[in-house]
Structure 1
Amino acid sequence: MNEEHLTKVILAPVVSEKSTLVGEKHNQVVFKVLPNADKREVKRAVELLFDVKVNKVHTALVKGKRKRSGRYIGRRSDWKKAYVVLQAGYEIDFVSVE
């Protein structure tokens, strides 16, 4: 894996009530990742970008919601999220990350 590809694997952090609770309780961080990214790529990307040690990675495919605008029905895109379990003593502070 080259570093250029690893920097593109993570798209954004998922900021929600559920992800905040998981982060506080289990020392996990939730990211939106590329749909074709595997767990090894996500682990390497997080370790490279945030300078932390990753213990485990769990991934989940999220199905896009059906949305309606008037008489037209559309659908949001499917996406993939990764629950990254950090080793003890490490944490990611998104405020200070540049």
Structure 2
Amino acid sequence: VCKYWLRGLCMKGEEQCEYLHEYDLSKMPKCAHYRLYGVCNSTNCIYSHDKVESERCNWYDRGFCRKGLTCSKKHVKQVACQLYLTGFCPRGPSCPNGQ
């Protein structure tokens, strides 16, 4: 889909433009924010929000992914265990919030 056409700015026109000039949600690029975080807060986002299961990004899980929103893998935010952060969690490795 022509990104310029979506904004009403394509100068080539439908005949000369190599991209599609039709709004078809199934042919829209995937929303990067939705793909990575599973949510998109934009009320008028034009991108596809299909549930695509992607594998987790090992770099993000280690603390930093230099690709950011362009990363093709899922960035999952972890909630830290408050008990562990204060010094001890009685659930240990079985704690759902991780250690």
Question: Would you tell me which structure has more strand in proportion to its own residues?
Answer: 1
Q: Which has the higher contact order (CA 8 A, sep 6+)?
A: 1
* Rg larger for: 2
TM-score norm. by structure 1 comes to 0.22
